[in-house]
């Protein structure tokens, strides 16, 4: 692949992870650029973020399609027409089927607000609090047809503090997400982490960010 990798970013909501990717792509030495942002929710603030960054953005409301297959076909067509090579799910609240994934083999990434395989699915932060874990975090993984089950590219850990409620823990994890997603995308598009026999194999050592676990004042 020559030049910068072309990303398609799929969103449904606020798009703060999209913003982190847009900010990374604004740096001249970053190996990717955002070619298209698609939201299945027409009112998503993420679309505003894309337009502000001067990036092509469109809404594809899944509710206006007769079937999931029709929606995913239109989505894949839009991404391909924009020259997208890698698809990044960033708060995209739809599961993608095998037909869609086959169009971008091994090139669909997702970010999830837990240390997978713990707490897949909705309300991961609430699940973590209810279970009483002391370390939480986020994961970027290759997408397979399961729910948050694909091979793990990179993870970042944060502490769960006494007195945390769902909002406080979510905010701490989200800050880690904003560091992790650009890093993981870079690892994937440069081939530093690649899929081999259904596992993500790294040629650059462990892709772990535990900076958030250090005590304040402790040297990095
Ligand atoms: C993030 O916590 C992400 O991990 C999850 O949905 C949230 C999206 O937030 N999949 P944003 O839209 O990127 O601000």
Residue 205's pLDDT is 74
Q: Which of 39, 48, 158, 174 to mutate to test the pocket of ligand 1 (most atoms within 8 A of CB)?
A: 174
CA of 17 to the centre of ligand 1 (A): 6
Neighbours of 184 (CB within 10 A): 30
Catalytic residues: 112
Helix, strand or coil for residue 175? helix
Identify the residues whose C-beta falls under 6 Å from ligand 1. Answer: 13-17, 90-91, 111-113, 174, 177
pLDDT recorded at residue 190: 96
pLDDT, mean of residues 152-158: 97
Q: Is the pLDDT of residue 206 over 80?
A: no
Q: What is the pTM of this model?
A: 0.94
Q: What residue owns the CA closest to ligand 1's atom 5?
A: 91
CA 10 to CA 16: how far, in whole Å? 12
Minimum-distance ligand 1 atom for the alpha carbon of 12: 12
Cis peptide bond upstream of 142, omega within 30: no
pLDDT in tens, 61-92: 999 999 999 999 999 999 999 999 999 999 99
């Amino acid at each position: 692949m020559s030049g910068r990798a072309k990303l398609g970013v799929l969103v449904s909501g606020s798009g703060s992870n999209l913003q982190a990717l847009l900010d990374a792509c604004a740096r001249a030495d970053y190996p990717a650029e955002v070619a298209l942002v698609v939201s299945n929710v027409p009112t998503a603030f993420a679309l505003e973020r894309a337009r502000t960054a001067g990036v092509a953005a469109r809404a594809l409301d899944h509710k206006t399609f007769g079937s999931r297959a029709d929606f995913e076909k239109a989505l894949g067509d839009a991404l391909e027409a924009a020259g997208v090579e890698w698809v990044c799910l960033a708060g995209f609240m739809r599961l993608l089927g095998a037909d869609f994934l086959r169009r971008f083999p091994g090139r669909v990434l997702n970010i999830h607000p837990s240390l997978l395989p713990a707490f897949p699915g909705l309300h991961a932060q609430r699940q973590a609090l209810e279970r009483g874990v002391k370390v939480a975090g986020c994961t970027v993984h290759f997408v397979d047809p399961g729910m948050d089950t694909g091979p793990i590219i990179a993870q970042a850990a944060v502490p769960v503090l006494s007195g945390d409620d769902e909002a406080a823990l979510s905010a701490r994890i989200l800050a880690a997400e904003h560091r992790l997603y650009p890093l993981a995308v870079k690892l994937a598009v440069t081939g530093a982490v690649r899929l081999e026999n259904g596992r993500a194999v790294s040629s650059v050592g462990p892709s772990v960010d535990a900076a958030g676990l250090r005590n304040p004042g402790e040297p990095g």
